[in-house]
Structure formats: structure tokens, C-alpha cells
């Protein structure tokens, strides 16, 4: 394995990739690897040999799974033949492994932690690229049997979902793992979560993180992964913030001083050229640019419908929303904090701010910016046995009365209102785009965070002559790959409707050449992962991405923050530094109360964006 056919005599003559005197990637695997993948395997082995961990941070679609499979084949002494799959069983039968007493006494072992939805994909890749003795550790009667057989020495590799490993960490943490790999490791980005705390309990110190998005929101997330892979090496989080995060953020400001830019330049250079290289390897799709067609991204600022616009304005004008904006302003008493900055009213003379009310308002604004009907109450909720659902329904009725005083009783969340173009400014753009693409023979992926909105799009498409498929969190994992293959192979299927959270990873949808992101996510990585379902190795047509943004709404600010976060991740990961020529678009600085600018602070979130964000983002285009 792998069972591929060499494309040339030269490729057929490629031998093993030697990592050490007696450690090599078998020729059967090595002849199908790209040069950058060989470099990734050497990087992993260097860390493994030194008894430490590392981060493989390649862009999505560059074959991180293949690199890991090849690396494991090398350290486990695989030869690439069928005998590899019987090796451990034969050693146990002859008593050779029993005498040694530990599962890793002859050959190394590995635990691979993966999202539950990707377990099948990992098993498929391991079976394609090597001959491993592996098993899945999960719920069911085989739970204890898997651990028992692993400790007896029957398995090279055990696969387990992140969530299941978190719940059963006490059973897993001190088993004889030679190395632990975590796919989609950005799920450990928050050191305060139960999952991250559990992952830090592993006694094995050869911990390897795999993710194309080391930074989803801010550079502190990078520290969390570095600390997981190499505990204690990167000091504590407070030190990281002081020496790395704060200088990088200040230098990203559009009006940063020369001194701030110089500091940012120094920090970025030290981070990317000296500190990170032994511990993190990141490559972008520029490595395979010659194998990929072009990709264009277009931001479509969709004007709100008149009904939608009036309701959005009325919501912002409500007394409680106005009170939240006022509470975020400097306190009239003039008191200042330790940094000499004025205390905000909510932190000084009026500490009655309602956090729950704030997040409820954010949710309502996001609903209105996307589709007015998402704001409406669902009739069935009025009779729900759950008190919280009935309370929510009553509250939605109150808001409808305030925002649509003329006909609030007719505002219900259903297919009728969902398909009403008067309630959503994005309908016209989506309708015209699909009409044009269908005529040209294109195939389309449509991503949305809202399952309800996805259902309305499905209802609308079903009334046309378009054929479609749908995938969301309710789709059984065993059906996912079949839907993918059906979409890629059947030219009559025009649209694939996908929830952003369920379909952002593990899907190869190169059959599509158009991608629509209906509503932006606070995390740019979520939308980027969605786009990369189509734009990856194997794509043969130019890909165009359309992001639909409710003009002037909170969605503009969400997308502005995506640009900001992407730029921050780019410079911290070794991309073009804002201090050395990268464009600085925004005055705001995240997590800095002195420089909220146009992106941060309650005042920006709870305001209609007349033009500031739009103009900057259009300038980006």
C-alpha cells in the first residue's frame, strides 16, 4: 500500500525516505509523496526523536493525514506489505510480545484524536497509505475490550473522538502511547475548557497537533497549542500576552506609531524565524499553486429590504439598546483606571448592565441582518412543554410588536415568511446568482450557519428545476461520503446545501466551482474551511466564492473582524508582516479598551454601519 500505479519509470524507481539509519518511509509510500510532504515527515520525526511534540499547521488540503500516516509507517517499521497487518498478532501468538510486557515494547504505538465525523475518513486514509493494526475506541460493548487488547499489544494505532477521549481521559492518559496526534487541534484553543484540561493530562510528551488554523481569533490560541505539544516550554499565558500578543496587536493598528511598528517587526521576526520553526511547521497552498486553478472571492453587500431595514433601525432605537450604548461610554464622574483611561459608565457609577440582554440583542441583530423571519416566533413553541421555550416565544412576540407595530400578529417563523423576498435582502442576490450559474453549467455549494435558513433555501430550490443535496448535523456520519461522491459524480446535481458547522471539515467537494457563504461566522477559520471544500487539490475549474453581507448591519462588522483576525493570524504564522509592508486597514485593536476603533466595543456592535466598514472592505477588494 498505497495501491496506486506509478505514473512514470522515474517515479517507480523512487526508494525509501530514510529518516535515520534504521527508520524509513517505505518506498511504496514515498514514491507517491510530494517534496513538501517529505519535509513535513522529517519535521515530525525530528521532534519525535527528541522526545517532544510539534504542530503540523499546513493549510487544509495539503495532505496532513498522509504525512502522519507515512511518519507512523516509518517509526513503526512498516514495509508496505500485507504482513504488516499481522505482525503484532503473530508476536502475541509466539509469546514474543507477552514476554516484553508493554504494548510499545517492540514497536511504537499511537493514539489519534479526531472529530467524530472524521473517524471514517481517517480509517480510510490509514488503510490506503499503510498496513496498520488499528482499532476505534468508542461507545459500546467493545469499549473495555479495545483498551484490554491494546495493552496486550494487538494495535499499532487507536482512534478516538475528542469528546469521547475527554470523558474517558482517566482511562487513556497513562497508557503506553509512544505518541499522541490530535487532528483539528484548534478545538483545544481555550485553556479553560474541560476538553483542553483533559488533553493536558496525557503522560505522553510526544504530542502532535494537526490544524490548518492555529489561530482562529487571536494569538493566545497559538500559545495553548504550543503549550499542549511542549508543556512549559513557552512560559505562561500572561508572559506570552505581554511579549507576543500585545505588541503584534498594537502594530496592526492603521495609525500605529513608528515605535509600535518597529516593536511589531522585531517580535514578528523573532517569533516566526527563531521561536516557532523547531515547534511548528506551516505551509500554505502556494506550494501547490501550479496544481490548482485560480480562486476569486467577491463580497456582495446586500441592501436590506425596506421592511428589514425599518425593523433593524427600530431595534437599535429601543431604550434598553440605547442604555447599553451609553453604558459603554466614559463615566460622567471622570474617574480613571490604573492606566489613566476613563472608567466606562457600566464599570463605575452604573453597574446595572445586563449581560444576558446584551447577548440577546446581538443574536436578534444577527437574525435581522440575515433574514427577518429568523426573528419571528415559531407558533408551536407557544405550547412547548419546556418553560424556557415558551418564555422565548413570548419574548419574540413582544419584540415583533415593537418592531412591526402594524402587523405584528402575522409575524410567524415558517416557510411562508421564510420565502418572502420582502423580508430578506439576500434573496434577490442569491436568486440571480443561481440562475446565472445554472445556465453556465456550474455546480454550487451553499453554506449557512442557520439550519432554518438552509431549510428555506431548500424549499425555494425544490420549487425550481434544480436538483440538490443537503448535509447538516442530522446527517448520519455513514451517509456523508456517499453524498459527497454523488455530488461530485452526478452532473445533474446543481446545489449542495451544507451547514457551516457540520460540513466545514472532512469533505472533498471538488465537483463544485462556485461557493456561497450566506452568513459570515465570527471565526474566519470556519468560513475558510467551508471554502476549502471546493478549493483543494483535485479541483480542475476556477473557483469563485461569494460572501453575502447584510449592508450596514452587524454582519459588516463580523466580516471586518474576519479580515482583522486573518491578518493577525497571517503575521503570527509567518506571513507578510503589517510592519513590513502589509496593509493595515483598521484603527481598532482587539482586547484594548484604548483603541476600540471601528471594529470593537459595544458602541460599534449596537450601531448601524453607515459607511466606515464598507469603505474599508471595498478598498480591500
Q: Are 334 and 317 in contact (CB under 8 A)?
A: no
**CB neighbourhood size of 111 (10 A):** 23
Q: Look at residues 500, 549, 526 and name the one whose alpha carbon lies nearest to residue 370.
A: 549
Domain boundary among the residues 418, 447, 470 is at: 418
CB neighbour list of residue 478: distance below 8 Å, 6 or more residues apart? 120
Q: What is the mean pLDDT of the chain?
A: 89
CB neighbour list of residue 429: distance below 8 Å, 6 or more residues apart? 300, 302, 548
pLDDT score, position 598: 86
pLDDT score, position 579: 43
433 in any annotated domain: yes
582 in any annotated domain: yes
Phi, psi of 280, deg, nearest 5: -145, 135
37 and 172 in a single domain? The answer is: yes
CA dist., res. 61 & res. 533, Å (int): 9
pLDDT, tens digit (0-9, with 9 covering 90-100), for 82-133: 788 889 988 888 888 765 568 888 999 999 999 988 888 899 899 999 999 9
Region 229-246: what's the mean pLDDT?
Answer: 95
272 in any annotated domain: no
CA dist., res. 95 & res. 99, Å (int): 6
368 and 446 in a single domain? The answer is: no
pLDDT-derived band at 578, boundaries 50, 70, 90: very low
- Evaluate if residue 615 carries a pLDDT over 60: no
61 and 193 in a single domain? The answer is: yes
Phi, psi of 139, deg, nearest 5: -70, 160
CA dist., res. 327 & res. 346, Å (int): 5
pLDDT score, position 582: 58
- Evaluate if residue 611 carries a pLDDT over 70: no
Segment of 163-167, 528-532, 607-611 carrying the highest mean pLDDT:
163-167
pLDDT score, position 619: 45
Q: Are 40 and 195 in contact (CB under 8 A)?
A: no
Buried b (16+ CB within 10 A) or exposed e, 308-317: bbebbebbbe
Q: Are 517 and 546 in contact (CB under 8 A)?
A: yes
284: left (phi over 0), alpha (psi -120 to 50) or beta: beta
Phi, psi of 160, deg, nearest 5: -150, 145
CB neighbour list of residue 132: distance below 8 Å, 6 or more residues apart? 69, 72, 73, 76, 78, 84, 85, 126, 156, 157
191 and 294 in a single domain? The answer is: no
pLDDT, tens digit (0-9, with 9 covering 90-100), for 240-258: 999 999 999 998 888 889 9
Residue 541 belongs to domain spanning? 290-301+425-620
358 and 499 in a single domain? The answer is: no
Phi, psi of 320, deg, nearest 5: -65, -30
Domain boundary among the residues 370, 396, 418 is at: 418
pLDDT, tens digit (0-9, with 9 covering 90-100), for 447-505: 999 999 999 999 999 888 899 999 998 988 788 889 999 999 999 999 999 999 888 77
CA dist., res. 222 & res. 570, Å (int): 12
Phi, psi of 499, deg, nearest 5: -75, 135
274 in any annotated domain: no
414 and 429 in a single domain? The answer is: no
Instruction: State what percent of residues in the chain have pLDDT above 90.
Output: 62
pLDDT-derived band at 586, boundaries 50, 70, 90: confident
Edge-to-edge strand ranges of the sheet holding 110-114: 134-136, 157-161, 110-114, 179-183, 207-210, 54-56, 280-281
pLDDT score, position 82: 77
- Which residue carries 453556465 as its cell? 440
163 and 57 in a single domain? The answer is: yes
Question: Euclidean distance between the first and final Cα of the chain, in Å?
Answer: 46
pLDDT-derived band at 537, boundaries 50, 70, 90: confident
> Which H or E run includes 29?
helix 27-30
Edge-to-edge strand ranges of the sheet holding 444-448: 295-302, 543-550, 514-517, 444-448, 493-499, 467-471
364 and 458 in a single domain? The answer is: no
Can you give the C-alpha Rg of the chain in angstroms?
Answer: 27
CA dist., res. 180 & res. 53, Å (int): 9
- Evaluate if residue 375 carries a pLDDT over 90: no
491 and 391 in a single domain? The answer is: no
40 and 124 in a single domain? The answer is: yes
51 and 126 in a single domain? The answer is: yes
What's the number of domains the chain is made of?
Answer: 3
13 and 128 in a single domain? The answer is: yes
Q: How far is Cα of residue 487 from the mean position of the Cα atoms in its chain?
A: 23
277 in any annotated domain: no
- Evaluate if residue 60 carries a pLDDT over 50: yes
CA dist., res. 608 & res. 71, Å (int): 52
- Could you tell me the pTM of the whole model? 0.85
CATH number reported for the structural domain that contains residue 117 in this entry: 3.40.50.10810
601: left (phi over 0), alpha (psi -120 to 50) or beta: left
Q: Are 183 and 122 in contact (CB under 8 A)?
A: yes
pLDDT score, position 165: 96
Higher local confidence (pLDDT), 84 or 276: 276
Using alpha carbons only, give the angle 569, 245, 327 rounded to the nearest 5 degrees. Answer: 100
CB neighbour list of residue 420: distance below 8 Å, 6 or more residues apart? 373
Region 301-319: what's the mean pLDDT?
Answer: 93
CA dist., res. 459 & res. 472, Å (int): 15
At residue 179, the 3 state secondary structure works out as strand
251 in any annotated domain: no
Q: Are 193 and 221 in contact (CB under 8 A)?
A: no
CATH number reported for the structural domain that contains residue 596 in this entry: 3.40.50.300
254 in any annotated domain: no
pLDDT score, position 335: 86
Domain boundary among the residues 418, 442, 476 is at: 418
- Which residue carries 417563523 as its cell? 413
According to DSSP, the residues that pair with 448 across neighbouring strands are 499
At residue 157, the 3 state secondary structure works out as strand
CB-count exposure of residue 256 (10 Å: 0-12, 13-18, 19+)? buried
Q: Are 115 and 163 in contact (CB under 8 A)?
A: no
248 in any annotated domain: no
CA dist., res. 57 & res. 213, Å (int): 7
At residue 24, the 3 state secondary structure works out as strand
Q: Is the dihedral of CA 459, 460, 466, 469 positive or negative?
A: negative
Q: Are 513 and 541 in contact (CB under 8 A)?
A: yes
Amino acid at each position: 500500500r498505497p495501491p496506486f500505479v506509478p505514473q512514470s519509470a522515474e517515479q517507480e524507481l523512487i526508494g525509501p525516505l530514510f529518516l535515520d539509519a534504521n527508520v524509513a518511509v517505505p518506498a511504496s509510500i514515498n514514491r507517491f509523496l510530494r517534496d513538501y510532504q517529505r519535509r513535513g515527515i522529517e519535521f515530525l520525526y525530528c521532534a519525535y526523536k527528541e522526545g517532544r511534540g510539534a504542530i503540523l499547521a499546513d493549510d487544509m488540503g495539503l495532505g496532513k493525514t498522509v504525512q502522519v500516516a507515512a511518519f507512523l509507517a516509518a517509526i513503526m517499521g512498516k514495509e508496505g506489505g500485507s504482513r504488516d497487518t499481522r505482525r503484532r498478532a503473530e508476536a502475541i501468538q509466539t509469546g514474543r510480545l507477552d514476554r516484553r510486557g508493554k504494548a510499545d515494547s517492540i514497536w511504537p504505538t499511537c493514539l489519534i484524536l479526531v472529530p467524530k465525523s472524521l473517524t471514517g475518513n481517517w480509517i480510510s486514509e490509514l488503510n490506503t497509505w499503510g498496513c496498520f493494526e488499528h482499532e476505534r475506541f468508542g461507545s459500546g460493548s467493545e469499549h473495555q475490550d479495545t483498551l484490554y487488547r491494546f495493552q496486550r499489544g494487538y494495535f499499532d494505532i487507536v482512534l478516538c473522538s475528542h469528546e469521547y477521549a475527554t470523558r474517558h481521559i482517566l482511562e487513556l492518559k497513562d497508557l503506553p502511547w509512544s505518541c499522541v496526534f490530535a487532528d483539528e487541534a484548534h478545538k483545544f484553543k481555550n485553556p479553560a475548557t474541560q476538553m483542553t484540561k483533559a488533553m493536558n493530562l496525557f503522560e505522553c510528551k510526544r504530542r502532535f497537533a494537526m490544524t490548518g488554523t492555529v489561530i482562529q481569533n487571536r494569538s493566545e490560541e497559538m500559545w495553548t497549542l504550543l503549550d499542549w505539544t511542549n508543556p512549559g516550554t513557552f512560559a505562561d499565558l500572561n508572559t506570552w500576552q505581554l511579549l507576543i500578543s500585545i505588541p503584534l496587536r498594537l502594530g496592526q493598528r492603521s495609525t500605529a506609531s513608528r515605535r509600535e511598528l518597529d516593536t511589531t517587526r522585531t517580535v514578528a521576526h523573532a517569533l516566526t524565524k527563531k521561536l516557532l520553526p523547531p515547534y511548528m511547521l506551516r505551509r500554505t497552498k502556494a506550494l501547490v499553486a501550479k496544481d490548482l486553478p485560480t480562486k476569486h472571492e467577491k463580497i456582495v453587500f446586500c441592501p436590506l429590504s425596506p421592511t428589514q431595514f425599518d425593523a433593524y433601525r427600530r431595534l437599535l432605537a429601543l431604550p434598553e439598546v440605547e442604555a447599553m450604548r451609553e453604558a459603554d461610554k466614559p463615566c460622567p464622574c471622570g474617574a480613571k483606571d490604573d492606566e489613566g483611561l476613563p472608567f466606562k459608565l457600566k464599570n463605575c457609577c452604573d453597574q446595572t448592565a445586563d449581560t444576558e440582554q446584551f447577548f440577546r440583542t446581538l443574536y436578534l441583530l444577527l437574525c435581522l441582518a440575515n433574514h427577518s423571519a429568523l426573528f419571528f416566533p415559531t407558533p408551536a413553541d407557544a405550547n412547548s412543554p419546556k418553560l424556557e421555550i415558551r418564555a422565548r416565544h413570548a419574548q419574540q412576540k413582544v419584540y415583533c410588536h415593537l418592531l412591526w407595530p402594524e402587523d405584528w400578529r402575522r409575524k410567524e417563523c415558517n416557510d411562508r415568511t421564510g420565502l418572502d423576498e420582502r423580508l430578506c435582502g439576500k434573496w434577490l442576490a442569491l436568486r440571480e446568482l443561481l440562475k446565472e450559474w445554472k445556465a453556465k453549467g456550474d455546480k454550487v455549494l451553499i453554506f449557512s450557519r442557520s439550519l432554518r435558513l438552509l431549510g428555506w433555501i431548500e424549499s425555494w430550490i425544490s420549487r425550481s428545476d434544480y436538483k440538490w443535496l443537503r448535509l447538516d448535523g442530522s446527517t448520519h456520519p455513514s451517509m456523508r461520503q456517499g453524498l459527497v461522491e454523488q455530488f461530485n459524480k452526478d452532473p445533474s446535481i446543481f446545489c449542495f446545501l451544507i451547514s457551516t458547522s457540520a460540513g466545514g471539515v472532512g469533505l472533498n467537494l471538488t465537483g463544485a466551482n462556485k461557493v456561497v457563504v450566506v452568513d459570515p461566522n465570527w471565526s474566519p477559520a470556519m468560513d475558510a474551511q467551508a471554502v476549502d471544500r471546493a478549493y483543494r487539490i483535485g479541483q480542475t475549474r476556477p473557483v469563485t466564492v461569494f460572501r453575502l453581507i447584510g449592508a450596514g448591519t452587524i454582519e459588516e462588522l463580523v466580516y471586518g473582524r474576519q479580515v482583522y483576525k486573518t491578518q493577525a493570524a497571517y503575521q503570527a504564522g509567518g506571513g507578510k508582516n503589517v510592519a513590513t509592508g502589509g496593509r493595515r486597514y483598521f484603527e481598532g485593536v482587539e482586547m484594548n479598551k484604548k483603541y476600540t476603533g471601528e471594529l470593537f466595543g459595544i458602541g460599534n456592535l449596537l450601531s448601524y454601519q453607515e459607511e466606515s466598514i464598507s469603505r474599508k472592505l471595498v478598498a480591500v477588494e
